[in-house]
């Protein structure tokens, strides 16, 4: 297999990620081999010795356009893709992960060996989503690529569907999956921190103040204390940017459903662009041409 650097990306990919993508608190906090080992051990329910290496293989610009909420890593001959979800679960995740995993395999495998007669062994893939959004969601659910297949009804598939990808979704909000949270202190503290922000918001406190209050509370109560003292300003920027981004998307989708006309879509596009949502994402939401979106951008 090809060797990759300690950050999991080639130098070029790493530079692109730094220049074009915003890390989330999730990827910042859990993008550490020791923390990933602890987290994966808790999810699997098995101890993973510290001498088993963890090699980070995260790619940029595959699952998300402007922020990094995913981590992929090699551990004990397994290739794990881990995603955080703070908004409504996207049922297209299996399809997106199919594209993602192919890119990761391409990065870590010597592609020339695919043309030899000897079987080239590859790491076993696993796909995990950690959900901590505000919608009601079960402790555990599975999403499958086959749910998206058309023309499957009536086919005689003797053994199984020829191409399948299963995603395990775990609800990590407080009150859910307590056994997993108990076994991974970092995840438990992270879940508490996110819950604390929402608690302040529910009291009518604006997002920016709620984040600062949660940071101060957690530092005072020894919850992610070392991380938050070192990265407090970065955490504030990451959370406020990400949550404002998600809110803007929800508003844009709602307005689009209510209007349903090109004029309505242009209004949605203007609002989304003014909030810093990437052009390609705005196009996906509205269906407007890139040329029209660029024209709208020039008028802001």
Separation in Å, CA 34 to CA 18, 48, 75, 187: 22, 10, 11, 13
Query: What does the pLDDT look like over 26-77, one tens digit per residue?
Result: 988 999 999 999 999 999 999 899 999 999 988 765 444 444 468 899 999 9
Alpha carbon distance 281, 267 (integer Å): 15
For CA atoms 208, 300, 69, 254, give the dihedral sign: positive
Alpha carbon distance 29, 46 (integer Å): 22
Residue 230 clears pLDDT 90, i.e. is over it = yes
Residue 127, helix vs strand vs coil:
strand
Alpha carbon distance 41, 39 (integer Å): 5
Is the pLDDT higher at 155 or at 3? 155
Environment class of residue 257 by beta-carbon count within 10 Å: exposed (0-12), middle (13-18) or buried (19+)?
Answer: exposed
Query: What does the pLDDT look like over 134-193, one tens digit per residue?
Result: 888 999 999 999 888 887 666 666 557 889 999 999 999 988 999 999 999 999 999 999
Residue with the two structure tokens 């596009």: 269
Environment class of residue 251 by beta-carbon count within 10 Å: exposed (0-12), middle (13-18) or buried (19+)?
Answer: middle
Taking each helix axis from N to C terminus, what angle separates 185-202 and 33-44, rounded to the nearest 10 degrees? 90
């Amino acid at each position: 297999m090809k060797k990759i650097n300690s950050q999991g990306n080639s130098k070029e990919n790493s530079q692109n990620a730094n220049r074009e993508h915003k890390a989330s608190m999730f990827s910042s906090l859990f993008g550490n081999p020791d923390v990933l080992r602890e987290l994966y051990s808790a999810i699997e329910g098995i101890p993973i010795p510290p001498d088993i290496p963890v090699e980070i293989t995260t790619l940029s610009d595959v699952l998300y356009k402007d922020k990094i909420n995913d981590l992929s890593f090699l551990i004990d001959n397994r290739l794990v893709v881990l995603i955080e979800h703070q908004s409504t679960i996207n049922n297209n995740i299996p399809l997106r992960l199919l594209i993602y995993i192919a890119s990761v395999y391409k990065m870590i495998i010597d592609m020339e060996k695919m043309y030899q007669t000897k079987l080239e062994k590859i790491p076993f893939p696993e796909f995990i989503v950690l959900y901590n959004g505000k919608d009601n969601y079960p402790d555990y659910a599975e999403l499958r690529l086959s749910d998206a297949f058309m023309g499957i009804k009536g086919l005689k598939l003797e053994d199984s569907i020829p191409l399948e990808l299963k995603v395990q979704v775990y609800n990590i909000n407080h009150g859910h999956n307590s056994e997993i949270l108990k076994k991974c202190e970092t995840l438990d503290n992270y879940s508490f921190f996110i819950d604390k922000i929402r608690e302040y918001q529910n009291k009518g406190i604006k997002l920016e103040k709620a984040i600062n209050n949660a940071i101060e509370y957690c530092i005072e109560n020894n919850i992610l204390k070392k991380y938050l003292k070192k990265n407090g300003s970065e955490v504030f920027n990451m959370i406020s940017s990400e949550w404002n981004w998600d809110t803007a998307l929800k508003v844009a989708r709602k307005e689009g459903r209510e209007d349903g006309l090109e004029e309505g879509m242009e209004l949605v596009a203007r609002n989304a662009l003014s909030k810093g949502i990437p052009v390609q994402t705005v196009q996906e939401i509205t269906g407007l041409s890139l040329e029209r979106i660029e024209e709208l951008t020039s008028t802001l």
